[in-house]
Structure 1
Amino acid sequence: MSSKGNTETEAFELIEGHYLVGNQGIYKVQEFLGEGAFGKVAKCSKLGSQEMYAIKIITHVEEGMEEFESMKLIKALDPDENHLIKMYECFSFQNMICLVFEILEESLEDFLNKNKCKATPLTYVRAIAQQMFQALQALKSIGVVHCDIKLDNIMFADKQSLKFKLIDFGLALETEELSTDTDVKIDIQVNPFRAPEVILGLPLDESVDMWALGMVLACVYRGNYIFPPKSEYETDKAEHRTGLRCRA
């Protein structure tokens, strides 16, 4: 078995009650919040502290280090003031990369599913828009593009006060890199949040994030997708019918 396969097996053998030894302390896995192709996200307590953390446990070291490097791009920004996820540390543990984040509540995707995809009050939409516009403005000020804005990647920080945060900078790029890399378009954004210029292979900049955020806001307001999530072709066809196409 390859080392890559071994790494995946070790990561998924983690169970509740196991410990992760970090640089700033020892974390105990309380429960798993989710999982994906990257690995798992665990809710963890820190020994000697009452604080809880969300630790993203990434099974592939290279991918984990890439996400860590992406987080370093935004380290100059105040995460609370700019509505961005806060990262505390990154460490390697038993061939896995562990990124320690503040713990948030639920994603917009989970929120809509719990509400059975009903339309969302405008007070929510307005709060999301205002806070995410501020987040994007902050990213633009340091020349960074998120590249993966979607329902899963905007979370409630405090549902009662309608505070939200932008998470998951695993695909984030510097604007200059995005505008010069002709191959990057195939690796960013997902349907139905993919901007027309990404689909059409046109020059890219931070406006791809604004398009994706617009689609998120429309989804939240309506309770469902504006464009079909199946394929680029279906999304492109729907955009053409509505006239929502970028101008070359």
Structure 2
Amino acid sequence: MIEVDILQLIAKNDRGSSRCVQIRNWFDYRDHICIVFEKLGPSLYDILKRNRYHPFPVDLVREFGRQLLESVAYMHDLRLIHTDLKPENILLESSESIKIPDFKRTTSGAMQYRCLPKSSAIKVIDFGSTAYDNQNHSSIVSTRHYRAPEVILGLGWSYPCDLWSVGCILIELCTGEALFQTHENLEHLAMMERVLGPLPEHMIRGANRGAEMYFRRGSRLNWPEGAVSRESIRAVKKLDSLQNLVAQNADSSRSSLTDLLRGLLKYNPSERLTAQEALKHPFFKDMA
């Protein structure tokens, strides 16, 4: 019922630009709350998977990113924090797609094709974990790969955790793979440092007691000494800096995209771009 209330609040204030899924109805069937939504297409993750995790063209990533940030800005204006943004929770409005040549041939010499959406229009779904800013917050939010550092360190979280997730999503759409593919906190933090540089000392000092074990003498990440396996160390070493990750996939837009991602992936939540600030970034002014 909390989700129903949030969906009704979103629909009540929507003027057609929220980019949030619209509730049509809800009912109680044998003590199960059922929600009826508008009909939508596949998720962005579904499209990546269908294309063997081949990345989206940068122009399409730009359009997805703009709409996603519009949706986040709308939610934040209502004092709502989604807390679970990820490609699985971003759906295309239409299932229609077009096939384009991949310019890669199979071993038999046959041309490969990719399916791209005919329309770039998207909607954000799954408000089951959405929280009001002024309510008590659970200690852990967000699906692991898209979880902000302040959540891992137990520093508390608010609107900026959604913007960290947006940054992770944009890189994934550009590269075809989740940026932080991990299931363990220390490895996750080590991956962040590999891509973004060292964690700020003031965040390390403020970490809760549960996160203290990830650091040596309270100031340096206990890595690779604390790694659980050699495979974990290799997984971190395999990552590259943010600038290089973008350069490998974004071509002409790489400088503006890298700058946008640096703003979305600031360690310090108070320094992270807001959704409204991100929408004014030059990356979105490059749109054709």
Q: State TM-score, norm by structure 2.
A: 0.59
**What's 2:56 paired with?**
120
Q: Which residue identity does 2:195 align to in structure 1?
A: T
**What's 2:67 paired with?**
131
8 Å contact 2:11–2:22 — kept in the other structure?
no
Q: Which residue identity does 2:126 align to in structure 1?
A: D
Stretches of structure 2 that go unaligned for 5 or more consecutive residues are 95-116, 200-266, 270-288
RMSD over aligned Cα atoms: 1.7
Moved more, 227-236 or 94-103: 227-236
**What's 1:161 paired with?**
119
Q: Secondary structure at the match of 2:147?
A: coil
**What's 1:94 paired with?**
30
Q: Which has the larger radius of gyration?
A: 2
Tell me which stretches of 4 or more aligned residues in structure 1 moved more than 3 Å: none
8 Å contact 1:195–1:208 — kept in the other structure?
yes
**What's 1:227 paired with?**
180
Q: 1:241 offset after TM fit, Å? A: 2.2
8 Å contact 1:77–1:138 — kept in the other structure?
no
**What's 2:273 paired with?**
none
Aligned counterpart in structure 2 of residue 196 of structure 1, from 136, 149, 154: 149
**What's 2:268 paired with?**
247
Q: Secondary structure at the match of 1:74?
A: helix
Q: Secondary structure at the match of 2:36?
A: strand
Moved more, 101-110 or 152-161: 152-161
Aligned counterpart in structure 2 of residue 144 of structure 1, from 77, 80, 83: 80
8 Å contact 2:8–2:23 — kept in the other structure?
no
Distance 1:142 1:152 in 2: 23
More helix by share: 2
Distance 2:85 2:15 in 1: 17
Q: State TM-score, norm by structure 1.
A: 0.68
**What's 1:175 paired with?**
133
Distance 1:206 1:66 in 2: 19
1:185 counterpart = 2:143: no
Larger RCO (CA within 8 A; separation ≥ 6): 2
Q: Which residue identity does 1:241 align to in structure 2?
A: R
Q: 1:79 offset after TM fit, Å? A: 6.8
Q: Which residue identity does 1:247 align to in structure 2?
A: N
Q: Secondary structure at the match of 1:211?
A: helix
Matches within 5 A, 1:39-58: none
How many residues are paired up? 179
- Structure 1 pair 101–221 and aligned structure 2 pair: CA distance change class (3 A): same
Q: 1:167 offset after TM fit, Å? A: 0.4
Distance 2:33 2:15 in 1: 22
- Structure 1 pair 92–210 and aligned structure 2 pair: CA distance change class (3 A): same
Q: Secondary structure at the match of 1:80?
A: coil
